Amino acid sequence: MSEPLTRLSDEEALFADTVRQFASEVVAPRAHAMDAAGRLDPEIPARCFELGLMGIEIPEELGGAGASFFMACLAVEELSRADPSVGVFVDVQNTLFNNCLLRWGTDAQKQKYAPRMAADTVGAYALSEATSGSDAFGLNARAEKRSDRYVLSGSKMWITNGAEAGVYVVFATIDPTAGYKGITAFLVEREFPGFAVGKKEDKLGIRASSTTELLLENCEVPEENVLGEPGKGYKVAIETLNEGRIGIGAQMIGCARGALEASVGYAREREAFGKPIAEFQGIQFELAQMATELEAARLMVYNAARLKDAGLPFLKEAAMAKLYSSQVAERVTSHAVEIYGGYGYTKDYPVEKLWRDAKIGKIYEGTSNMQLATIAKALLG
């Protein structure tokens, strides 16, 4: 397949090639087994740290790669082409946790946590609860100030990287009567007293990516671990999620790209009526439509990422990119299953898994309806 029309710099192209090679040689051969087991192969996180994929935007002086948000999205796309579970593992680390730490953390917090995130510690982002989905700020988790610390109580649900993480950005309210103005973000370490990882969800897709419950039972968090300022958690969360949605867009175009590439290869090999099915116009048109929609989605994701790096407004573009890329991923992977025919419905071929993996794109980090609402508000002022 051709490279995207959006021009990559030499550095970006080399980086994408390196991640693509890792994804093809290390991730792809393990994808089926990881999906069946419902967990990442231990070698995958270790290799991701070794390659510098867990601290892409972290400055070099703090142990990271000192690269751009766009390059983080390139990594997520290339990894998701092989396994969207690995794509989102790296995505949450970079576009949510690290992004949040670098933007809102104090110098002391950055000095303490950024080198760990780049070297060997997985991060997670804990906003959702059992009763707060799209209304993510109807939080029940509470934080009570006691002397030089806060005591957190409650639970969190649907936390990506929950099983592997060593540090979590956790949102709780310090004043329920203040509404969203009471929400506060905390850096919570796994070893803090009163913190525990709960149930791991048994999911339809991205099964190797851990999605867990978090339990806060009088969890003690030092005052210096407030991220941002007390009562500013709403702003911390919403601005981080606006950026994270571009990362999910990258995951979705990677997922669709893996399905399209597999379909092209299969169409060239599979014969019917004495010739490869790629010679039938019906198959050709289907592949052409899949490729066209994928290219459009890729350009939308790349544009949103470039805008973010340039410091330009990107809220509407990020919502559009996530909305459309998730729609395209669902369509492209579904068509891929059909091109494979009966084989596509079995677990012996990759497209069945990619089809299941694609569904989450319309749900997490803001449902499709929430993206439509964001786009409409931007259009109507």
Q: In the beta sheet, which residues pair with residue 156?
A: 214
Q: Residue 39 has what DSSP assignment?
A: S
In the block, residue with structure tokens 């790629």: 278
- Position 110: which residue type? K
d(Cα 265, Cα 132) in Å, to the nearest integer?
43
CB 227 within 8 A of CB 186: yes
Angle separating helix axes 69-82 and 84-91, nearest 10 degrees: 160
| Cα–Cα distance list, 6 to 155, 254, 298, 334 (Å) | 42, 15, 9, 26
Decide if 261 is catalytic.
Answer: no
Beta pairing partners, 129: 132
What CA–CA distance (Å, rounded) separates 170 from 187?
A: 6
> CA–CA separation, 137 vs 128, rounded Å?
8
Catalytic residue among 129, 213, 295, 365: 365
| Three-class SS state of 338 | helix
366-372 LR contacts (CB < 8 Å, sep 24+): 366/134, 366/241, 366/245, 366/319, 366/322, 367/133, 367/134, 368/323, 368/326, 368/327, 369/134, 370/134, 371/245, 371/319, 371/320, 371/322, 371/323, 372/319, 372/323
Write out the catalytic residue numbers: 365
